[in-house]
Structure 1
Amino acid sequence: MRRAFALAVLLLALIPAMPASAARTSLRAADPSVIRVGSTYISVQSLNNGIAVRQASSPDALAGATARQVWSDTGNLGEVWAPEIHFDSGRYWIYFSAGRGPSHRMYVVSSVAPASGYSAAVRMALPDDKWAIDGTMFVFGGQRWFVWSGWAGDTNVEQNLYIARMSSPTTTTGPRHVISQPREGWERVVGNPFINEAPEAIRDPNGQLHIVYSANGSWSDQYCLADLRLRAGGDPTYVWDWYKSNGCLFGSHRATMMPGWDPTLYADGPGHHSFVLLNGDIATSPPAGPRFPLMYHAVAKGTPYAWANRHWYTGTFAWWGNTTYTRANVPGATSNTGFGLKFFE
């Protein structure tokens, strides 16, 4: 008992105290995407019917930095949603969705500089050519991957998460594979459609792949973050090698939180996050213990929940060991224990 108590005290000592309030920035916007290159933090956002880049010396300073327009929708593609910035092979790549209604598809632009010189938009030929948003690229197991939120067919019933291999930063190869569908009760509190979106890849201290995503509609304060963990040695394209958290890991409603995780105190509907990693590379994700920077959008508690009231927030995250995810009535093992995540406002 004394040994267990001492271990608990040590673990708590490794985690700094919670801040007095959520770190809401002055930027009234959604869908932050942030990477660190050297000592510079670089963000992208949808702005003025195009994409803007900001650069600053810290995540908190991004909101006050100059927004430089790097791409404009001169081709009248339609609504520009949720750009994601990456650094790969000496170039910056910005993935985004554009279109109207069911025509939304993924596009990419690139440059050798973070805030200028971007190419014309290239439409990505994703397998099956269905509605697609929130695409992101990462490297795992020596292979580039692309993961996104999309429809199974041509109607807006639910948004699933799909993954495909990549042969280059602009090209997927082979079929798409579904890795998550919004079928759990806690991710179906808000529907029409039911939502799994905004996937972000990260590698845990054991080397296992995680896809942290947003569940429930972004128009509701039930919006939250949940986790998919790939079993050790698992195949990213095989859905039953993925284990889903048993509830939200970052959300504002206790009823939908995973047991042992607490709801937010100051922010409503936290979601569509960005792990702020060096070069955006999941191989630079943190070890167990320290907190690392996080950005997400949310609405301040006490403020009517609406898209127009969303702000960028800065927070932190840490790996949480010995976290068991369970499932029932599916192939393979019914539980998997490994690292989960704790998120802090």
Structure 2
Amino acid sequence: MNRARRWPGVPVALALTLLFTLLTAAAVTATTAAPAAAEQTPLRAADPSVLRVGSTYIAVQSHSGSLVVRQADSPAGLATAPARTVWTDTGGLGEVWAPEIVRDGGRYYVYFAAGKGAAHRMYVIGSDSPDSGYSPASRLALPDDKWAIDGTLFTFGGQRWFVWSGWAGDTDVEQNLYIARMSSPTTPTGARYVISQPRESWERVVGDPYINEGPEPIKDPAGRLHIVYSANGSWSDSYCLADLRLRAGGDPTYVWDWYKSNGCLFGSHRDTMMTGWDPTLHVDGPGHHTFVLLDGDIATSPPAGPRFPLMFHAVRKGTPYAWENRYWNTGTFCWWGDTTYRRAHVPGPTSDTGWSLKFFE
């Protein structure tokens, strides 16, 4: 049975909710009715990263060893918008993957993985303009200097953070999620801390290696931090989205302050879904998503109630599941209240109740 949705009352947060609504009204039409089918864009690609600045949607994509930026007046319009190349791998780094565009202090930064085999590391370029004038790529000095992909920057609790998917050592056994502090958008500081490992049965459907990747931060209506990530291998239609929720007042660097959803929240196989969440009807293997946030800032995360834009990659049902058949899709999400995540045989409380998320094709 679906859990009842908690709707916000009229307390102090009303002013912030109204402000967010005014900011998004011109560019977002919220709906409470599910679309008839997933909106597959004409863009055959993976790993969308999209933010909104004013009424303009800005996306970055990896394409043939280069990074391209598109701008449009709607998420769906990005697929046919002109692609401007902002960086090309002239240095032969190899395998340019999964760029993430963020905005910090009015400046744009694109983080991306590049390398060959075990040499994949995170790099960053920056510019005052979203689609031109970027700096040369510099390698992020992430702590421990291990294989790293899918990294992104965000601010929470007055501190910049960087979250990514990586290896514990030098071999491809499993991909964990790590977090580290940042003293600036380009400078990690201190140690790396593991916050998730693919150890639950529903995220070990496919292996070699087992996967946690594509972390995307967002803040819920109670102000708690979530990292929504992709589980299972992207080469399988068991690829799905799951959630990490930081306990109230928790330390983002302490793994046992994070509670994991008890199954996929957005996936195409019922046996991997969290109880009360249904599998997709129109696509297989939805994953590596992007929350389309104002300025890409989790401080502008949406309130409870209506649905808000989401983009993800997936393969349309009835099509052979393969990387080359992945397309960007537009969808929506909303907050889902009073949801309990449970765990066992770990330090600390074995359950935590708070906001979760519902995703819609």
**Corresponding position of 2:146:** 130
Partners in 2 of 1:201 and 1:119 — Cα distance? 25
Number of residue pairs aligned between Structure 1 and Structure 2? 338
Partners in 1 of 2:357 and 2:302 — Cα distance? 11
For 1:302, the aligned partner's letter is G
Partners in 1 of 2:40 and 2:31 — Cα distance? 21
Q: Alignment partner for residue 45 of structure 2, among 29, 45, 65?
A: 29
**Corresponding position of 1:200:** 216
2:231 is the alignment partner of 1:229: no
Instruction: Tell me by how many angstroms 1:48 deviates.
Output: 2.3
> Secondary structure of the equivalent of 2:142?
coil
Q: Structure 1 residues 25, 111: CA separation in 2 closer, same or farther (over 3 Å shift)?
A: same
Identity of aligned residues (%): 76
- Give the CA RMSD over aligned residues: 1.5
Q: Structure 1 residues 203, 159: CA separation in 2 closer, same or farther (over 3 Å shift)?
A: same
Partners in 2 of 1:29 and 1:271 — Cα distance? 12
Instruction: Tell me by how many angstroms 1:10 deviates.
Output: 8.4
TM alignment of 1:247-266, pairs within 5 A: 247-266=263-282
TM-score (norm 2): 0.92
TM-score (norm 1): 0.96
Deviations, residues 81-131 of structure 1 (Å, cap 9, x unaligned): 000000111210000000000000000000000000000000000000000
Q: Structure 1 residues 241, 10: CA separation in 2 closer, same or farther (over 3 Å shift)?
A: closer
**Corresponding position of 1:90:** 106
Partners in 1 of 2:275 and 2:207 — Cα distance? 23
Deviations, residues 211-268 of structure 1 (Å, cap 9, x unaligned): 0000000000000000000000000000000000000000000000000000000010
Q: Structure 1 residues 8, 73: CA separation in 2 closer, same or farther (over 3 Å shift)?
A: closer
Q: Any gaps of 5 or more consecutive residues in structure 1? A: 1-6
**Corresponding position of 2:125:** 109
Partners in 1 of 2:228 and 2:329 — Cα distance? 17
**Corresponding position of 1:267:** 283
Please tell me whether the aligned partners of residues 60 and 68 of structure 2 are also in contact (alpha carbons under 8 angstroms): yes
Partners in 2 of 1:123 and 1:340 — Cα distance? 34
Deviations, residues 300-334 of structure 1 (Å, cap 9, x unaligned): 00000000000000000000000000000000000
Q: Alignment partner for residue 213 of structure 1, among 207, 212, 229?
A: 229
2:219 is the alignment partner of 1:189: no
Instruction: Tell me by how many angstroms 1:9 deviates.
Output: 12
Partners in 2 of 1:300 and 1:331 — Cα distance? 41
Please tell me whether the aligned partners of residues 15 and 289 of structure 1 are also in contact (alpha carbons under 8 angstroms): no
Partners in 2 of 1:90 and 1:208 — Cα distance? 25
Please tell me whether the aligned partners of residues 209 and 229 of structure 1 are also in contact (alpha carbons under 8 angstroms): yes
Partners in 1 of 2:331 and 2:217 — Cα distance? 18
**Greater CA deviation, 271-280 or 44-53?**
44-53
Q: Any gaps of 5 or more consecutive residues in structure 2? A: 9-29
For 1:203, the aligned partner's letter is K
Q: Alignment partner for residue 290 of structure 1, among 291, 306, 314?
A: 306
**Corresponding position of 2:16:** none
Deviations, residues 257-295 of structure 1 (Å, cap 9, x unaligned): 000000000010000000000000001011011111000
> Secondary structure of the equivalent of 1:263?
coil
**Ranges of 4+ aligned residues in structure 1 off by more than 6 Å:** 7-11
2:359 is the alignment partner of 1:343: yes
Q: Alignment partner for residue 168 of structure 1, among 184, 191, 199?
A: 184
Deviations, residues 169-228 of structure 1 (Å, cap 9, x unaligned): 001100000000000000000110000000000000000000000000000000000000
Partners in 2 of 1:178 and 1:235 — Cα distance? 12
